[in-house]
Every structure is written in C-alpha cells, then in structure tokens.
Amino acid sequence: MTPEIYTNVTILDAGSEGKAVARVNDLVIFVPFVVPGDVVDIRVTRRKRNFLEGKAIKFHHYSEKRAEAFCEHFGTCGGCRWQNMGYEGQLFYKQKQVVDALQRIAGIEDPGVSPILPAAKTKYYRNKLEFTFSNRRWLLDPDKETEREAHEMNALGFHLPTFFDRVLDINNCYLQREPSNSIRREAKKYALEHQLTFYDPRTWQGFLRNLLIRTSENGGVMVILVFRTDEPEEIRSMLDHLAAAFPEITSLYYVINPKKNDVINDLELILYKGDPWITETFPAYRSGRMLEFRIGPVSFFQTNTPQAVELYRTAADFAGLEGFETVYDLYTGIGTIASFIAGSAGKVIGIDSVPAAVNDARENAVHNGIRNVVFHAGELEKMLDREFVRENGVPDLVITDPPRSGMHARVTREILAMAPPRIVYVSCNPATQARDILLMKEQYELVKCQPVDMFPHTQHVENVALLVRKDATGNGPR
C-alpha cells in the first residue's frame, strides 16, 4: 500500500502533548519533532476519525523558532520533545496552552493570564529520575530489530513512548545533575561485568529492575536500587560497589519487587547505608524563616526545587492571607505548601490520599516547629464532607493542587458547598484545570492566572489560578 504523503505543509502550532500541529484539507495532523514555522513533507502514519498522525520526511524550510537540539537522544527519547525550539518559543506556546484551555474549555474570553515565569535553569533542573533495567534495548536502526540476537540487548534508561517492553539505553541525560549520569553508567557497567540479568517485561523475569536517583539543592544524593528477587550476596556486592565508587551518595536504599508492576510505594524500602532522607531548604512565606523538608525514598516533592519555591510563592501571593484564615490544603502531598504558608494563616488543614505522604507532612511540620497545621490521610472525595467541615471549620481559603487528572467531581461539588471566599488552584494540566473552573464558573470568578515553567524543553506547564466567590466581589447575589 502506497503511503499517504502531503507535501509543503506549514507547521502551525505546538500541541499540548508535545507534538506540533498542521492542517491539510481541514484535517488536523499531529507531527513530532518539528517546530511551528517549519515547512515539511509529511507521511501519514496513523488515521483517526478526527485527526491524523504523521512524520516529517523532508524539510523545505526551517522555522526561525528552531534551536539546535543538544541531546544525543533527541528524536528517540520521549522526554524533552521541545529542545529543538528556542526557549522563548517554548514559553510562548506554554502560555498559549493555558490561554487556549481557559478560553476553549472554560469558556472565559479574557482569562487574564500573566506572562509566564521562566525557569532559572533549563538543564539539570530535575531532582528525581527513574531508570529501567531491560533486556529489550531499543535498536536505533529499525532493520536490526529482526536481528536482535546479534546485538547487546541489555539497557538502562527510559521507556520508549507507547512501548511497555522497549527501553532506550541512555548515555547522557541533561535533566539531572551529576553524579546522576555517572551512577547510572556505573550501575550498568557493574551489572554487565558480573553477568547480572536485566528485567524482561514480557516474562517478568530478571534480577535488576529499576534505578531511582534523587538529588537535592543541599547536596543530598539518594540512590534506590530495585531488584526482582532477594539474592543477598549479589545485592550487597552491587550496593557496596556503588557506595565505594560514589562517596557523595548520602542515602542508599534497596527494594525487592516481585510484582508485575513497578510500583514500590507498597513495598519495604530497606536503608542499606547513610541517612533515611535527603533534605531541601527554602524560606517560609513572608517571614523568611528557613524550612527544612525531609524527603524519603517515596515522598512526593516537586521535581524542580527552585521553581517549586516560585510556584508556592505565587500561590501564597494569590491567597492574600492576613493571618487569621482557616485554610484547606487539598492534595497536600508532604505538606510543602501548608508549611510554607502556615506562618501567615490562622490554621491549615492538609488532606492527601497517600498515608506515607501524610506521615512525611506531619514529621516535617514537627521538625520545623509548625504547630498550626493538621494533616489527614484519606481519599478526598470520601473524606471532604459536611462532617469534616464541622470538625475542622469552614475554610476562608481553599488551596488545591490535584494530579494531572484534576479534581474528582465530588471534591468540586463539596468545595462549592463550602463556598470559601477564595480558591487558589495549582495545576500541572491546564485542560483539567479549565474543566474544573468551568464547573465552578457560575459561583466563582477567575480573577487572575500565573503560568510557571517547571519543565523546560517539554510541553508541560504549571498554572496557578485565583478564583473569587462572586458575591465576595460584589458581582453576584449574596
């Protein structure tokens, strides 16, 4: 069958999922690894009812928005899909993504979006990465896929997009500072030299499964090795080797995961050497008092620490705290926002569905001497009800920072029932944020928004929105 090819197509936009957008005959075509302004020939790779997917096979004109990709894995690895676009262009399209979502989904003609806050660092900004050991390495030459037995197939790197059983072997990654790359390369070298088996995701066999590396601005380095089976001698030998090779490792864990999934939150994490946590330090809102957060192996913490501080400061500024307020911090995680604003509020009630995160939140509050915060563990859609409000007080302010899927519909309904004067909505997904704002639109007015770039060279953007109850602004019935 002859492939369907469109010629001299101008790339028009950058899509929210990392692919660029073109139009041919009133059909949208999503194309990866091109930049708005490029003029290309496109081979259609997939046809859907309302759109096409394609691949650029020839360039007639290169966009002025282009930049030279700096990573050797660009074009294959699923991360950093926008690194062939200049940073100013990235910021423009991230801001546009927020505006488009609020206009198209929430139906707000003028959402009042402030200029996006750029990241101070555009490389080595992540404090956490997870790598996968696999005996099914992705071969860059597709022709070699039929001759896999002739090649070294062990890999330590990232999963390919849409492939559960293929891993791209990573040489150098620009997302996390050293010693991340060195530790990963040494772990693979040791495994090959000692003939340790790499995991096979199809048969669920193999000794080595995952390598997680967490770093902190304070110099902490946490390494977590995940093994499928408990083989004490091999485990001890590999951990001792890494500890000796990298004395900068301050926390060394291992986990035995015999399951068919990679989730380790429900497993025993064994501290082999060093401290049980690494720490991040940043100033509390307004007071400037330094807060220290202890981060364990499965703690949730924003993966870009300097930008996280900017994100929290923006949320606190939007909150307009005067010192007396009762604040609900929904999806609190390890309580970073709650602790950050506690000194400027009357009391803060944090809720999260992950018990380990809530334990971390409580311990961090005690560690920092914060006494006006209370944390509850439980699913928000079940816990947040009239009885909870009676016990904890009607909130003057709700801060919500849900996962990418947005807030559960029951949570949204309960917020509307509580009717706090102000809501500060922190989101990592403008589309689901806009959906939730639409649900609250009749009762609340969107006053302002502040996008924050947490993840340079990707399509992801955070957005902080301030919603004010209409009767509180004089725009609606009391």
Count of CB atoms situated within 10 Å of the CB of 369:
8
Rounded to whole angstroms, how far apart are CA atoms 469 and 230? Answer: 56
β-strand 444-452 against 326-330: which pairing, if any?
Answer: unpaired
Q: Are 459 and 435 in contact (CB under 8 A)?
A: no
Q: Which of 77, 80, 428, 449 is catalytic?
A: 428
- Residue where the block lists tokens 């001299």: 8
Two tokens, residue 222: 């946490």
414 CB-near residues (< 8 Å, 6+ apart): 384, 385
At residue 447, φ and ψ (nearest 5 deg) are -95, -45
Task: Enter the DSSP assignment of 471.
Answer: G
Q: Is 428 a catalytic residue?
A: yes
DSSP labels, 264-311 = -TTSPEEEEEE-S-EEEEEEPTTT--EEEEEE-TT----SSHHHHHHH
247 CB-near residues (< 8 Å, 6+ apart): none
- Collapsing DSSP to helix, strand or coil, 99 comes out as helix
385 CB-near residues (< 8 Å, 6+ apart): 414
227 CB-near residues (< 8 Å, 6+ apart): 207, 208, 209, 235, 254, 255, 256, 257
Residue among 422, 297, 411, 305 nearest 356 (CA): 297
- Collapsing DSSP to helix, strand or coil, 196 comes out as coil
- Collapsing DSSP to helix, strand or coil, 435 comes out as helix
Rounded to whole angstroms, how far apart are CA atoms 407 and 106? Answer: 15
SS (H, E, C) 204-229: CECCEEEEEEEECCCCCEEEEEEECC
- Collapsing DSSP to helix, strand or coil, 157 comes out as strand
- Collapsing DSSP to helix, strand or coil, 55 comes out as strand
Rounded to whole angstroms, how far apart are CA atoms 350 and 337? Answer: 9
Catalytic residues: 428
